[in-house]
């Protein structure tokens, strides 16, 4: 069939070339329009359910809100993990679904189950789903600060909430804009405990009266003089004075108004978070994209909108969009990988010219690259695959191999045409090209099948690593198959047009090739009859290489260089927002002194309805660095120093935005190593966490060691004595509810101001609220006897402690201890951790799980080893199918250990650490390395079958020298095309591709060089019987090679 | 006026207990528990809690099942291995009822490796205080944990 393809391509050569040109045009257009992102879609479908729970303590939030929600969601189809966080006044449940499930169907399922959960949740609390976004969806920050204007924090926040945010939300692709910082505007009715006592009113009276604060209503329609009138009752509160004048009750027969018992002020509600921009107070807006939105394009739209917005803002106000932007990294990374692609192509062209020494053959061979790439782009378009660092990386790795099939074909056609011209009666050019292409098509096809086959394991990887590497595999396989198609169609057609009429003067090899052949011939003279010596030498090299393995480290993925940093500062929980904010700002200002720091955005605590639920002890600073400056490691060391000097007692978690979010997705936390402790008692979890911390803290190379800050924080507790309360005809529940409304505040209405809704809240004034004695003196109820019941009559008010947060995972309470490695081998760190964990006894019902990057690395490495073995078996089967000889198949596979020598040596010289990317490259290398052996052995057999050579020394040397050029060319093009990735460790976008390049380059160099001597010697010593058997079978079947 | 001053003093005293005994401990615990200063009992005569020398810091963890775990830390918050400590710590318990603390009984915590542990008797009302009396090198120490629940 393949011969028919070649024949067709030669017959319809003009149509083939026209189609190729058409594909170039179409493919180029499609390639430009393909969606662009930094990584493939790594978002596991996640539905977040949030319930603002007033002032409930974490224990109550867990019991009354989180548990019912979790129970309702548990067992949903496709649900992988349920995580929750119960903090003061907030419950967040994260339902993580399996890859490939439909997000909108998941949301529908969650929505249905929430209906059930609502029945079990206290009245007034409403679980809602957060907008459909993703952990990778936080694409940029926008900062609003007063600049040179005189705007107050409240005016700034109002501007952000009611002018900037709606405009940003209206941009197609924006899912959510979360604002933090400034002062949220609220009308507050601050009740004085003394004044309501003086007016003989109770909290109950006040709440009841204010719950009916004015509103507009309708009285339907009325007809007057043939006209219809809408009846409107205009009772809506329209000013602060309206609130002050509102009626709340009677005292001594006279009306009591709000102003008599309370102060009405415009103030901000109790803050649970704040924000700063470049160290200045301001409003930070976090923009999240919709899952399918294209980050770079969306960022451009947002930037355009910000430019328009800037013109409409009050004079002097600063609206900053050039803070952290995911698109910075994406654009940088993609530009770098594109540059690698371009440079790789250039390298390939140089190698081709050097070897072929003929512009026509170079041109024909090089055509395979753009054609294969545009065909890949068309296939991408068809299957809706986007451009990202991994797909581009797949192409960058493949670039050198895209010309391999064409090289083999062109080299053979060129050689056969030269031979043909030397004949007295040259045959038709078309015939020669057809036969030459047909001669090598088997080795081309089988090599390609093997190369494709070894990439298959990538598609069996699951989880994040599968999502990350599979697109690389798609790109590689599609482009390699495209290059095969080009070599079977366009290459022969071009050979006809460009080589068919080539003059006979170019019959000799170039000087470079002649030199190479001479050197090889001389070495072969000494080695071809010494197989044992050659094999022994290779075995020694292999053992030497393998002996290096135990001294190398293990990593999950190479570290990204995002050009930014996410700095988490965890103060001791219980710290007030004011202090945490002040210290965090000091750190931010200190960081801005580092010349490499371009901008900072800081968020402390959390914003309203933000699923990024953190306590006020947590400061998160996102730092954007200048491209120029000192090396990243040095800058980060300086960052650590600055923080330690400015805020010595704070725990630091230093990472990068995207990497941190990937970690978050892997383990639900943001660290390389995570130990999750599960159990039912939060106190015991904390104790075990502390024991683990104490045991691990002196491990060298372990940094950022932290116990999840789930600790005891100060609480002012009111213990209601139910017996005494019952005597006063009060239920503990009613008292608790009243206290919640008054101490925490209750929204009693809303005021419409210029189309903006501003809340009206009722709560105790700060004087009463801030003093435990005054809280104790609060009147709770007036008995029919006229006697007033105070809080202290029925309750103990005391300062105690309680948990700041309760986290759960899969319906169990959980606490984690996390750490990062400071540039050391994660594998060794974890081994030491596991050794030390054995010393810590655990109570019944408690267990520890290892998570984080390391756990993923272990799991995926094991899987890759198994898949690699299966791939090896696959290679063997394909070879056996082709050669019908296990000995010949095994001989070809000798290239694999030869490749291992170079790969391990290359890792040792460069990174000294195995990552998942290295393992994937190893498996890939098995296929690429086998190609050399196939080409060599196939040619020996061809010489014996078609050119009358006898099995022996002369045939082997001739065959080796004839195959020298294509073997060296294919290997060199593959290696040199990887150079731009090899010498770019740590450059954005090339981080994951660098280890791949290291392994393939090292492996191909050793396998190619050693194979030139191993295969001839081994074939000569042990291949005779297998070769003769093969030829015999071929003759019997009448098949050509 | 006298009555008002007396009432104020009494009520302030009630909340004074909320700060615990001895010099205030500002650090967070190493094991997620509650911290208190450990002083020599002899130094507390005359009720000079706030000025007493801190010999250790103690961290108390109370599990849901009533298990109490007590760690001793050095004043600069390093783990202490309990060298020189006697095997048992006597704990006296008092509960707040009607605005006053009342002694209700005592129990023991036993040394296990680098910590003491024991079981808290059932208690219905809240808050309660635990006064602990460890002995180290024959010297009686005092730890006061207040307003527990």
Q: Contact B99/A687, CB-based, under 8 Å? A: no
pLDDT band per the 50, 70, 90 thresholds, residue A613: low
- Nearest Cα of chain A lies from the Cα of B138 at a distance, in angstroms, of 28
Task: State mean pLDDT over A181-209.
Answer: 82
Nearest to A739 by CA among A774, A783, A786, A712: A774
Residue A980: burial class (beta carbons within 10 Å; 0-12, 13-18, 19+): buried
Nearest-angstrom CA–CA distance, A191 and A233: 28
pLDDT in tens, A302-359: 999 999 999 989 999 999 988 888 888 888 888 887 888 888 888 888 888 887 778 8
Inter-chain CB proximity A800 and B147 less than 8 Å: yes
β-pairing verdict for A913-915 and A553-555: parallel
Is the confidence at residue A1041, as pLDDT, over 50?
A: no
Rg (CA), chain A: 37
- Which pLDDT tens digit goes with each residue over A346-396? 888 888 888 777 888 889 988 998 999 999 999 999 988 888 878 888 888
Q: Nearest to residue B31, comparing CAs of A651, A723, A707? A: A707
3-state helix, strand, coil in chain A (%, to 5): 55, 20, 25
Rounded CA separation A556/A445 (Å): 34
Instruction: Find the length of chain A.
Output: 1041
Residues of A in contact with B69 (CB under 8 A): 687
Count of positions (residues) in chain B: 149
Average pLDDT over chain A, rounded to whole?
85
pLDDT reading at A722 higher than 90: no
**Searching chain B, which residue's CA lies closest to the CA of residue A682?**
B63
Which strands, in side-by-side order, build the sheet including A746-753?
A262-267, A186-191, A756-764, A746-753
If we measure between CA atoms, which residue out of A702, A695, A655, A687 comes closest to residue A815? Answer: A687
Closest CA to A808 of A61, A221, A138, A157: A61
Question: Tell me: the pLDDT tens digits for A500-532?
Answer: 776 545 556 677 788 888 899 998 888 888 889
Give the CA distances from residue A352 to residues A17, A624, A890, in Å, rounded to whole numbers and listed in that order. Answer: 22, 43, 31
Nearest CB partner across the interface for A572, out of B28, B99, B125: B28
pLDDT band at A617 (very low <50, low <70, confident <90, very high): confident
Least confident of A782-791, A795-804, B74-83: A782-791
Tell me the shortest Cα–Cα distance from B28 to chain A, in angstroms. 6
Strands A227-234 and A216-224: antiparallel
Instruction: Return the percentage of chain A with pLDDT > 70, whole number.
Output: 95
End-to-end CA distance of chain A: 14
Q: Which of B30, B63, B61 is nearest to A705 (CA)?
A: B30
* pTM, to two decimals: 0.74
pLDDT of residue B25: 64
Burial level of A522, CB count in 10 A (0-12/13-18/19+)? exposed
From A683, A792, A798, residue closest to B127, measured CB to CB? A798
Q: Which residue has the higher pLDDT, B46 or A706?
A: A706
* pLDDT average, residue stretch A913-933: 82
From chain B, pick out residues whose CB is under 8 angstroms from the CB of A693.
30
Report yes or no: A561 and A622 within 8 Å, Cβ to Cβ. no
Query: Quick one: pLDDT band at residue A281, thresholds 50, 70, 90?
Result: very high
Mutate to test the interface with B, among A717, A799, A806 (most CBs of B within 10 A): A799
| Cβ atoms A619, A274 nearer than 8 A | no
**Interface check A799 vs B, CB under 8 A:** yes
Q: Cβ of A684 and B61 within 8 Å?
A: yes
The answer, yes or no, to whether residue B1 has pLDDT greater than 60, is no
Query: Band of the pLDDT at B17, cuts 50, 70, 90?
Result: very low
Dmax (CA) for chain A in angstroms is 132
User: Does residue A848 contact residue A837 with C-beta atoms inside 8 Å?
Assistant: yes
Cβ contact A561:A986 at 8 Å: yes
Mean of pLDDT values over A73-85? 91
- The complex's ipTM works out to 0.81
The pairing of beta strand A186-191 with beta strand A756-764: parallel
Give the number of beta-carbon pairs within 8 Å between A and B. Answer: 85
> Which residues, 6+ apart, have CB-to-CB distance to A337 below 8 Å?
A389, A392, A393, A396, A989, A990, A993
Task: In whole angstroms, give the CA distance from residue A734 to residue A118.
Answer: 21
Distance from CA of A688 to the nearest CA of B (A): 7
Q: Which pLDDT does position A302 carry in this prediction?
A: 95
Mean pLDDT of B123-143: 88
CB–CB of A799 and B31 under 8 A? no
Per-residue tokens: A798 = 């005391």
Task: Encode pLDDT of A524-565 as tens digits.
Answer: 888 888 889 989 999 999 999 999 888 777 666 677 778 888
For the residues A742-746, what does the mean pLDDT come to? 77
Look up residue A780 and give its two tokens: 């709770």
Enter the tokens of residue A767.
């004087």
Mean pLDDT of A826-853: 87
What is the predicted pLDDT for the residue at A814? 92
**Interface check A952 vs B, CB under 8 A:** no
Distance, in Å, from the CA atom of A667 to the CA atom of A678, rounded to the nearest integer, reads 14
All residues of chain B having their beta carbon less than 8 Å from the beta carbon of residue A681 are: 63-65
Q: Which residues contact A574 (CB under 8 A, 6 or more apart)?
A: A617, A711, A712, A713, A714, A804, B28
- Give pLDDT, residue B16: 34
Q: How far apart are the first and last CA of chain B?
A: 36
The pLDDT value recorded for residue A482 is: 93
pLDDT bin (cut points 50, 70, 90) of residue A277 is very high
pLDDT digits (tens, 9 = 90+) for A99-141: 888 888 999 999 999 998 888 898 778 899 987 766 567 889 9
In terms of CA atoms, which chain B residue is nearest residue A802? B149
Rounded CA gap, A534 and A162, in Å? Answer: 78
> Could you tell me the pLDDT band of residue A427, with boundaries at 50, 70 and 90?
confident
Q: What single string gives the DSSP state of each residue in A207-258? A: HHHHTT---EEEEEEEEETTEEEEEEEE----SHHHHHT-EEEEETTEEEEH
Residue A262 is encoded by which pair of tokens?
């309370």
What confidence score (pLDDT) does residue A256 get? 92
Percentage of chain B lying above the pLDDT 70 cut: 77
A216-224 vs A186-191, strand pairing mode: unpaired
């Amino acid at each position: 069939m393949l011969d028919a393809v070649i024949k067709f391509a030669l017959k319809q050569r003009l149509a083939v070339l026209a189609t190729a040109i058409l594909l170039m045009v179409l493919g180029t257009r499609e390639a430009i329009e393909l969606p662009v992102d930094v990584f493939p879609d790594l978002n596991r479908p996640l539905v977040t359910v949030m319930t603002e729970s007033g002032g409930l303590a974490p224990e109550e939030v867990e019991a009354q809100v989180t548990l019912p929600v979790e129970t309702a969601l548990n067992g949903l189809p496709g649900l992988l993990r349920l995580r929750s966080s119960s903090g003061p006044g907030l419950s967040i449940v994260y339902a993580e679904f399996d890859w490939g499930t439909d997000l909108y169907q998941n949301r529908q399922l969650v929505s249905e189950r929430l209906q059930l959960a609502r029945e079990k949740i206290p009245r007034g609390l409403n679980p809602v789903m957060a907008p459909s976004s993703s952990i990778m969806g936080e694409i940029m920050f926008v900062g609003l600060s007063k600049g040179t204007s005189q705007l107050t924090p409240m005016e700034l926040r109002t501007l952000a909430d009611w002018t900037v945010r709606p405009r940003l939300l209206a941009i197609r692709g924006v899912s959510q804009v979360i604002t933090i910082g400034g002062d949220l505007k609220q009308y507050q009715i601050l009740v004085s405990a003394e004044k309501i006592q003086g007016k003989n009113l109770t909290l109950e009276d006040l709440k009841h009266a204010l719950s009916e604060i004015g509103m507009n209503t309708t009285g339907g329609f009325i007809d007057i003089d043939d006209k219809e009138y809408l009846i409107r009752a205009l009772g809506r509160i329209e000013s602060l004075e309206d609130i002050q004048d509102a009626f709340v009750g009677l005292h001594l027969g006279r009306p009591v108004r709000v102003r008599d018992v309370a102060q009405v002020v415009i103030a901000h509600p109790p803050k649970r978070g704040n924000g700063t921009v470049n160290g200045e107070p301001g409003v930070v807006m976090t923009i999240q994209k919709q899952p399918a939105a294209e980050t770079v394009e969306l960022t451009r739209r947002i930037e355009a909108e910000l430019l328009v917005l800037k013109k409409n803002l009050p004079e002097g106000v600063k609206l900053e969009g050039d803070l952290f932007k995911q698109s910075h990294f994406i654009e940088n990374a993609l530009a770098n990988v594109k540059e690698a692609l371009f440079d790789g192509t250039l390298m390939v062209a140089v190698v081709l010219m050097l070897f072929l020494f003929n512009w026509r053959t170079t041109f024909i061979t090089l055509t395979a690259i753009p054609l294969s790439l545009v065909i890949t782009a068309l296939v991408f378009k068809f299957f809706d695959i986007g451009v990202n660092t991994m797909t581009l990386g797949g192409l960058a790795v493949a670039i050198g191999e895209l010309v391999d099939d064409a090289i083999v074909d062109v080299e053979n056609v060129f050689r056969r045409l030269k031979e043909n011209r030397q004949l007295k009666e040259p045959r038709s050019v078309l015939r020669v090209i057809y036969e030459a292409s047909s001669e090598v098509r088997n080795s081309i096809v089988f090599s390609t099948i093997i190369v494709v086959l070894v990439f298959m394991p990538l598609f069996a990887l699951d989880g994040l690593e599968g999502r990350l590497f599979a697109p690389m595999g798609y790109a590689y396989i599609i482009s390699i198959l495209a290059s095969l198609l080009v070599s079977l169609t366009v290459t022969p057609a071009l050979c006809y047009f460009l080589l068919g009429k080539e003059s006979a003067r170019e019959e000799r090899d170039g000087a470079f090739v002649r030199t190479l052949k001479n050197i090889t011939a001389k070495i072969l003279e000494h080695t071809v009859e010494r197989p044992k010596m050659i094999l022994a030498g290779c075995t020694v090299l292999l053992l030497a290489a393998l002996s290096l393995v135990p001294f190398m480290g293990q990593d999950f993925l190479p570290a990204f260089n995002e050009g930014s940093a996410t700095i988490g500062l965890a103060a001791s929980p219980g710290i007030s927002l004011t202090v945490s904010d002040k210290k965090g700002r000091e750190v931010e200002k200190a960081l801005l002194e580092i010349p490499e720091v371009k901008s900072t955005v800081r968020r402390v605590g959390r914003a309203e309805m933000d699923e990024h639920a953190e306590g006020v002890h947590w400061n998160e600073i996102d730092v954007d660095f200048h491209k120029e400056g000192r090396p990243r490691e040095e800058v980060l060391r300086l960052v650590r120093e600055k923080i330690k000097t400015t805020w010595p007692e704070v725990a630091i978690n230093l990472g990068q935005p995207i990497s941190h979010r990937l970690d978050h997705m892997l383990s639900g936390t943001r660290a390389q190593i995570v130990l999750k402790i599960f159990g039912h008692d939060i106190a015991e979890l904390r104790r075990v966490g502390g024991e683990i911390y104490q045991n691990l803290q002196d491990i060298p190379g372990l940094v950022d060691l932290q116990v999840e800050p789930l600790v005891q924080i100060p609480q002012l507790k009111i213990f209601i004595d139910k017996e005494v309360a019952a005597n006063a005809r009060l239920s503990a529940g009613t008292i608790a509810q009243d206290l919640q409304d008054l101490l925490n505040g209750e929204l009693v209405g809303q005021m419409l101001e210029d189309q903006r809704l501003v809340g009206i809240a009722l709560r105790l004034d700060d004087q009463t609220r801030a003093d435990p004695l005054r809280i104790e003196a609060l009147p709770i109820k007036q008995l029919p006897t006229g006697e007033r019941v105070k809080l202290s009559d029925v309750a103990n008010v005391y300062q105690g402690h309680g948990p700041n947060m309760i986290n759960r995972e899969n319906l169990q309470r959980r606490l984690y201890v996390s750490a990062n490695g400071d540039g050391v081998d994660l594998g060794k760190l974890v081994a030491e951790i596991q050794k030390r964990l054995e010393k810590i006894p655990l109570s019944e019902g408690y267990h520890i799980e290892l998570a984080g990057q390391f756990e993923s690395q272990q799991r995926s490495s094991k899987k890759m080893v198994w898949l690699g073995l299966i791939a090896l078996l696959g290679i063997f089967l394909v070879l056996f199918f082709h050669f019908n000889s296990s000995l010949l198949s095994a001989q070809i596979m000798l290239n694999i250990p030869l490749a291992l020598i170079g790969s391990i040596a290359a890792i040792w010289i460069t990174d000294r650490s195995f990552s998942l990317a290295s393992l994937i490259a190893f498996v890939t290398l098995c296929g690429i390395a086998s190609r050399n052996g196939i080409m060599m052995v196939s040619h020996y057999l061809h010489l014996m079958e078609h050119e009358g050579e006898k099995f022996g020394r002369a045939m082997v040397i001739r065959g080796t020298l004839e195959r020298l050029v294509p073997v060296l060319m294919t290997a060199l093009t593959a290696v040199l095309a990887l150079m731009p990735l090899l010498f770019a460790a740590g450059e954005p976008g090339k981080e994951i591709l660098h280890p791949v390049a290291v392994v393939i380059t090292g492996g191909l160099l050793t396998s190619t060089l050693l194979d030139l001597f191993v295969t001839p010697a081994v074939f000569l010593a042990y291949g005779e019987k297998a070769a003769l058997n093969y030829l015999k079978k071929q003759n019997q079947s009448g098949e050509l090679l | 006026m006298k009555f008002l001053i007396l009432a104020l003093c009494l009520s302030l005293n009630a909340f004074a207990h909320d700060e615990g005994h001895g010099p205030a401990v500002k650090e967070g615990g190493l094991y997620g528990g509650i911290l208190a200063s450990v002083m020599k009992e002899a130094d507390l005569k005359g009720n000079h809690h706030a000025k007493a020398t801190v010999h250790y810091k103690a961290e108390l963890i109370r599990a849901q099942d009533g298990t109490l775990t007590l760690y001793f830390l050095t004043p600069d918050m390093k783990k202490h291995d309990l060298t020189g400590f006697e095997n048992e710590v006597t704990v006296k318990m008092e509960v707040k009822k009607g605005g006053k603390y009342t002694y209700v009984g005592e129990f023991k915590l036993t040394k296990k490796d680098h910590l003491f542990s024991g079981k808290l008797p059932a208690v219905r009302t809240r808050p309660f205080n635990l006064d602990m009396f460890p002995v180290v090198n024959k010297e009686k120490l005092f730890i006061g944990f207040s307003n527990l629940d």
